[in-house]
Structure 1
């Protein structure tokens, strides 16, 4: 693990940074977000089309969004890419080469949905795969079993034995090794958004009594503790198979969980887990502290209720397939509307959590969540984190870094993303991750007409110093 020196002057977005022995040309990263590229013959081309523009525009680090490590099950949304097939992963070298040609680095985020998998919530997928069970850390919590009885979910869990947990660890490790061989510069474990890693971490899901259960020693202030053993074993297995590759993970605080639901991970638990996993003796090289509830809800994508997407007739068949009928889709939309009030958007909602972690670990701390303008990004770097990232804004502006980085960047430069969530909800209907809001697209088009996405000194990959920078 490479300690991050805390500079005497506050770092800015344009400053290079050492990331677990790798030199990044600046501190801006494209955070992981669904690409919905699939695994067909055109999948790599779609990923290149999605991710290369951010590298060409100057981003220091690019994340390929959640990719599934198993050949069956585990997908949380339609169109997710799987990385279980060695031949397919070898073909991803075209993507890593394209990113490296522009001087950027690329990480791949590895994931498995567990109880968030499509067979739980997607009606058509579940009916097409009636014998498919979900990998479960423990017996599902009561509230999920109640939703199953009411017909909103279709639970068919298989609680993993210790041997089966080890088998899943091997799936992650093999995928990581293949990714390194294909040229990826870092491995990012998807530790939040209710994927299976969060399910191991969280006392809401994890009631195991083997070595992968909750470790009470990690829970401060009398809280139940955090299930860090799975991540520790995962890191060990990845090191064995993939070597000394930079390794990072999201660590959740489940503080946004609705009252009356629990137990859940507090901010204190998240800080303690980061110390355990990325402290002096920890196996991870960097952490991404985030706040998300114990459910897959709008705590992940805060902002406005996506009314336009729910009303869009183009998605009607997709919503019917996903939720079983239009009335059920309407019920989900109503819940989505209520959540939009509970999880209204607040700029940089993870910043104070990241700041606490940054004071406790020497490893790089990455901050994302509601960051939208250059001044805010620089302020977060001065106080809260070592790298800063954005995700959904790249749907509207694939070349957004060109407006934020370099000598030509305007101090008041801000992403045009309106946090309307029309991009996110459409993915439940099997649509790709793109911006569909006319006003936002018009704003991006006007900026493009003005030449705002020209490089403007954002860097060509040779401005980050020496060493092994690109």
Structure 2
């Protein structure tokens, strides 16, 4: 029987247990304070026992590609070297940290964030192919501003090389592994997805881009390398071209054969909607007065922000919370690959974790619960009856469109965390 506190090998790196902090939007910026901000965000997870900590999406280029404000860029040698205290602090606590490599493509701020577009009029929008019809319709309605440049074959190679160079910088800074952001509608998913990819060159098979990323990274570092792989099973009705669960399983098998050291299968949509997070409509966050000007700046006006809020409410009715929503998909993948399978999405209870390990997956991760409880591993590892206090209300996520940090803002959750703190529930030897 596989246990949560059993060590596990990922690409030759031994992790002390099978619990990991999934990638989140750290939004720590790119300045002299970034290393300290990342340490504040990530170190508590390692200090409280997590075997692996994933630093959320870091952008491989110096311009464009950010899905949200203040994301960290890793294109500059000196800046990335200044991040060395982050992996050093994680390692000192007994954990290991993987950095997630990303470029947003058509999910980037230059497509959807009105104020950013005004301040950066020269930033090019990178697209795998001509944007699909629903996005073009959103452009005509004023919710997006599309003026994309479809990547040429040579430019695809250049983008892949930037992933490789970013990986090399992070390896030199002491990071323990690398995580390709292959889902959540970033550029890698856009290559993999038939909804976005209608190319007629060698990258018409979108896996070729992921394979190229692997080769570019491997030519520069031998750090453990993992990737997310999407299934677009939550695509809206009427979207016929999308990745099925069968496609996801096949892509995971190809990724393992290509040399990736672990895979993270995740189900979602073809859009950056509530299916990324699932759960309740974040009413408190949308009504909070301190964010109203930021929403207006992001979406172009207060009335457009209200329409986005309404769309968010509609999405939430379809993207309801499901415990361990990727379990069946991960179980299918695990039957087909000989590398570790990581499961995240909707895992909240230690009892469920114990059932999933050795069956659906080899490691289990959580994301939003770490906003609510930065030292959550202490409870999960020590108490077989523990349950995360996160209520899946998503009030932590929507304000990130304004540049606000990802933190829990729900009074009932914060009150419960306070009670647990007073009982020393997060203290470990």
- So what's the TM-score if we normalise by structure 2? 0.99
Name which of 259, 266, 269 aligns with 1:293.
269
Task: Count matched residues.
Answer: 429
Does the CA-based 8 Å contact 2:53-2:96 persist in structure 1? yes
Residue equivalent to 2:401 = 428
Residue equivalent to 2:375 = 399
Q: Distance in 2 between matches of 1:251 and 1:19?
A: 17
Residue equivalent to 2:302 = 326
Give the structure, 1 or 2, with the largest relative contact order (CA under 8 Å, sep 6 or more): 1
- Residue 396 (structure 1) shift: 1.1
Name which of 29, 43, 55 aligns with 1:38.
29
Name which of 227, 245, 270 aligns with 1:249.
227
Q: Distance in 1 between matches of 2:30 and 2:177?
A: 21
Q: Distance in 1 between matches of 2:9 and 2:161?
A: 29
Question: 1:165 is paired with a residue of what secondary structure?
Answer: helix
Name which of 77, 83, 92 aligns with 1:101.
92
Q: Distance in 1 between matches of 2:122 and 2:214?
A: 32
Residue equivalent to 1:224 = none
Residue equivalent to 2:12 = 21
Residue equivalent to 2:327 = 351
Q: Equivalences for 1:259-274 in 2 at 5 Å?
A: 259-274=237-252
Stretches of structure 1 lacking an aligned partner (at least 5 in a row): 1-9, 215-226, 458-470
Residue 321 of structure 2 is aligned to residue 363 of structure 1:
no
Runs of 4+ in 1 over 3 A off after TM superposition: none
Post-superposition Cα deviations, 1:77-123, rounded to whole Å, max 9, x if no partner, equal 01100000111110111000000001101100000000000011111
Question: 1:412 is paired with a residue of what secondary structure?
Answer: coil
Residue equivalent to 2:385 = 412
Post-superposition Cα deviations, 1:319-364, rounded to whole Å, max 9, x if no partner, equal 0100111110010000000011100000000000000000000100
Does the CA-based 8 Å contact 2:55-2:98 persist in structure 1? yes
Residue equivalent to 1:277 = 255
Q: Distance in 2 between matches of 1:95 and 1:262?
A: 43
Residue equivalent to 1:156 = 147
Q: Distance in 2 between matches of 1:287 and 1:125?
A: 34
Q: Distance in 2 between matches of 1:58 and 1:347?
A: 23
Q: Distance in 1 between matches of 2:423 and 2:254?
A: 48
- Residue 71 (structure 1) shift: 0.3
Does the CA-based 8 Å contact 2:7-2:18 persist in structure 1? yes
> How large is the Cα RMSD of the aligned pairs?
0.8
Q: Distance in 2 between matches of 1:292 and 1:343?
A: 9
Q: Equivalences for 1:115-154 in 2 at 5 Å?
A: 115-154=106-145
Does the CA-based 8 Å contact 2:34-2:83 persist in structure 1? no
Q: Distance in 1 between matches of 2:94 and 2:239?
A: 46
Residue 211 of structure 2 is aligned to residue 232 of structure 1:
yes
Post-superposition Cα deviations, 1:374-419, rounded to whole Å, max 9, x if no partner, equal 01111110310000000110011111001011xxx22210111010
Name which of 54, 58, 61 aligns with 2:49.
58
Residue 428 of structure 2 is aligned to residue 452 of structure 1:
no
Post-superposition Cα deviations, 1:212-271, rounded to whole Å, max 9, x if no partner, equal 112xxxxxxxxxxxx2000101101111112x2111100000000011013000000000
Q: Distance in 2 between matches of 1:131 and 1:420?
A: 37
Residue 279 of structure 2 is aligned to residue 316 of structure 1:
no
Question: 2:218 is paired with a residue of what secondary structure?
Answer: helix
Stretches of structure 2 lacking an aligned partner (at least 5 in a row): none
Residue equivalent to 1:192 = 183
- Residue 12 (structure 1) shift: 1.3
Q: Distance in 2 between matches of 1:46 and 1:130?
A: 29
Residue equivalent to 1:6 = none
